[in-house]
Structure 1
């Protein structure tokens, strides 16, 4: 249990919106504690309604068809996984927002007394890692480890970095605006901090800019990029294993080994390796036993129930039980379960297409909104106003994410493809299947 608490504390320190709490404490002291038995700050159903309404709005074809992407001609690429991304990114948003508002209103700290809101943020990131393991390990298997590595890494860099750079520059400006540029540290220290933050997200736990950790809420969610890059860097080594025929046995054995190792190795990385391995094992199983694929009510039901049990009975997002239950849910979805059509709806897939912007920018957007005193006051005043502010905030995040996806993300992807096409080995053909 002590280890789990340290893990939770790590998440809060990295991804919590500490700036918001500092700015709004005065309002929290004045806010009444009104609520109803039907709805309070930790109610689950308002979050589900907000996400559902957003999916319905995004389903309007004439308005949001610009968010559609060309169908991927790949037998193992499923709409359900693309739709899942949007749900996961939204879960991270509500985890951070509700946690921050609850602590603000009640003058507390840490996770709120809600298994749902405490779990959905880190649980969503765990499934994101599973998706990464599934997609890239699957490609290695399909191509017998024969990958054009320069193309892959150029694609990854131009997929991830343009939006990341926008966020980091905004973070620098935000901190300088609130702190000033007084010489509180040497030029060498400032340069070191700048380089850590600008280095593609690869550096683990960069030093807070100008040594002001209270502003990490703007960029706390970038911690997961470090582990994504570690996985990408491991792909050349994994490509050797992908040439073997017994990939199911290999990945299953590795996963079981890590489960046992989790009991004795108190490093957070072990848990994340388990998540990547679940995605890899899923890819191996579905390629070795294609009859496991399919949709249907039973498969969707199992996916939803396993995810719900992970929240309710696992004891935390980084326990072995939570990992296994989330793995069962992910396997069902990766094999074709649509969660009764929710994950394959047009609005859900469009939400998935902008999920990277949602995930990366929500901390910045929330902190910018918190610069307005009236916004702060309504956030902590009553339960009804809190959920109204939540709906408007989430809508603002979606609107900004649509714009950044269309301009920055797509622009970066297209630039990366043009660079690849101009490489000497690709003068006539680009291996664009490696780009997401």
Structure 2
């Protein structure tokens, strides 16, 4: 078993099979998850994307596992010396961005002028905030525990630090209570800042969703990204929206996407990107990753892997997996390092530790999805946010008039 090179696929594949077995038990033995997956299968959804999310979250877990090993070996938190490990993390985040843009732009294309901004932001708050606050609270408590719950900075400074972490690190990710490199407790929050930027822009973008008007925000976005983006990750939101547009307008694309040959194409593209692209955070890499995503978003299941029940469970809890895995990884590896120095550990032994991390993460995520995420997904919008009866009547009148042929 390796931590770099193509052989890295072996331990990652074995752990993935193990996690699918855990997810299978949840799907068959846990009433809540059994019912959840049954409802998901019966509903009209992008089922391949539901399953894809879980594998993307696992990819980020493997990515951070390799980075953590080299952090203990060399003392720096940086991109791993492995194209495959880099692809697992960067590719996973990039495809998460495409998933976000695909789903919401598809909604805008269907809804047109009926887009409800209030309901949109309420759903985003209920979806994103509760689990994030839970995760951020774990980070803050851990930082205090590792500084022995002594106040090392002023109360005002502590308050400022906590606010920064609870607001998706948009103001920054300061050390908490003087604990050096607090961000290492959980390093995934940066990507959520990009998600919120997209959400804030989306109501404006949705105004141009009908017809050729969509070219206006697409062209402006492309120019702004090309001129001002330092990371190039914004391109993936643009390509996600493009995937939704093409899927909406091309029946032949959907027919091809569901074929076995399309699955071969997807696997081949992933292999080529992982082997020959050093980083997907480049302008030229975005269209390469767009191609397999386009097929998956339009119905490709990778020979049924993305729509099996265990994959659906992992997809359902993927947000929790994403927010918790680095925290669990940090604590377990830190604990193990007290007894056996990570750099002296056999690679096989390290992957055994990562197996424990992965199982603990999935089990923890299954609990937080059930009791933290899911209750808020069903939370109704407050009455003061709902449109008045007058505005509802005006909207109905406008819709009725627009449906009368001229």
TM-score, normalised relative to structure 2 = 0.85
Aligned residue among 117, 136, 141 for 2:104? 136
2:41 matches 1:83: no
1:209 paired residue number: 176
Q: Per-residue displacement from partner, 1:189-237 (whole Å, max 9, x unpaired)?
A: 22222222222x1615332323534221223201111111111111121
Q: Rate the CA distance shift 1:109–1:422 in 2: closer, same or farther, 3 A.
A: closer
2:201 paired residue number: 234
Q: Secondary structure at the match of 2:123?
A: helix
- Greater shift, 93-102 or 104-113, is seen at 104-113
| Kept after mapping to 1: 8 A contact 2:342/2:350 | yes
| Kept after mapping to 1: 8 A contact 2:208/2:217 | no
Q: Per-residue displacement from partner, 1:382-402 (whole Å, max 9, x unpaired)?
A: 122112111111111111011
Measure the CA separation in 2 of the matches of 1:221 and 1:101.
17
2:269 paired residue number: 306
Give the unaligned 5+ runs of structure 1: 1-38, 430-436
Q: Rate the CA distance shift 1:105–1:219 in 2: closer, same or farther, 3 A.
A: closer
- Greater shift, 351-360 or 385-394, is seen at 385-394
2:12 paired residue number: 47
Measure the CA separation in 1 of the matches of 2:76 and 2:193.
30
* 1:49-128 pair list within 5 angstroms: 49-60=14-25, 61-64=27-30, 66-67=32-33, 68-69=36-37, 70-71=39-40, 77-105=45-73, 110-128=78-96
| Kept after mapping to 2: 8 A contact 1:342/1:348 | yes
Q: Secondary structure at the match of 2:96?
A: helix
Measure the CA separation in 2 of the matches of 1:233 and 1:143.
18
* 1:282-321 pair list within 5 angstroms: 282-294=243-255, 295-321=258-284
| Kept after mapping to 2: 8 A contact 1:58/1:350 | yes
1:188 paired residue number: 156
Q: Per-residue displacement from partner, 1:138-188 (whole Å, max 9, x unpaired)?
A: 111111042222222111111111111111111111111122455543333
2:237 matches 1:276: yes
| Kept after mapping to 1: 8 A contact 2:108/2:206 | yes
Calculate the aligned-residue CA RMSD, in Å: 2.7
| Kept after mapping to 1: 8 A contact 2:151/2:177 | no
| Kept after mapping to 2: 8 A contact 1:370/1:376 | no
| Kept after mapping to 2: 8 A contact 1:83/1:351 | yes
Between the two proteins, the alignment pairs up a number of residues equal to 380
2:215 matches 1:246: no
Q: Rate the CA distance shift 1:247–1:65 in 2: closer, same or farther, 3 A.
A: farther
Aligned residue among 345, 363, 372 for 2:335? 372
2:315 matches 1:348: no
Q: Secondary structure at the match of 1:170?
A: helix
| Kept after mapping to 2: 8 A contact 1:204/1:223 | no
Measure the CA separation in 1 of the matches of 2:75 and 2:179.
22
Measure the CA separation in 2 of the matches of 1:74 and 1:238.
27
Measure the CA separation in 2 of the matches of 1:337 and 1:267.
32
Measure the CA separation in 2 of the matches of 1:249 and 1:302.
29
TM-aligned CA deviation for residue 410 of structure 1: 0.6
| Kept after mapping to 2: 8 A contact 1:126/1:272 | yes
TM-aligned CA deviation for residue 312 of structure 1: 1.7
Measure the CA separation in 2 of the matches of 1:378 and 1:394.
20
Q: Rate the CA distance shift 1:370–1:50 in 2: closer, same or farther, 3 A.
A: closer
Q: Rate the CA distance shift 1:118–1:424 in 2: closer, same or farther, 3 A.
A: closer
Q: Rate the CA distance shift 1:390–1:189 in 2: closer, same or farther, 3 A.
A: same
* 1:148-167 pair list within 5 angstroms: 148-167=116-135
TM-aligned CA deviation for residue 413 of structure 1: 1.3
Q: Secondary structure at the match of 2:207?
A: helix
* 1:362-401 pair list within 5 angstroms: 362-373=325-336, 377=340, 380=343, 381-401=345-365
Measure the CA separation in 1 of the matches of 2:265 and 2:339.
40
Aligned residue among 178, 184, 188 for 1:221? 188
Q: Rate the CA distance shift 1:293–1:426 in 2: closer, same or farther, 3 A.
A: farther
Q: Per-residue displacement from partner, 1:72-97 (whole Å, max 9, x unpaired)?
A: 8875x321101000000001111001
2:285 paired residue number: 322
TM-aligned CA deviation for residue 424 of structure 1: 4.9
Measure the CA separation in 1 of the matches of 2:319 and 2:388.
28
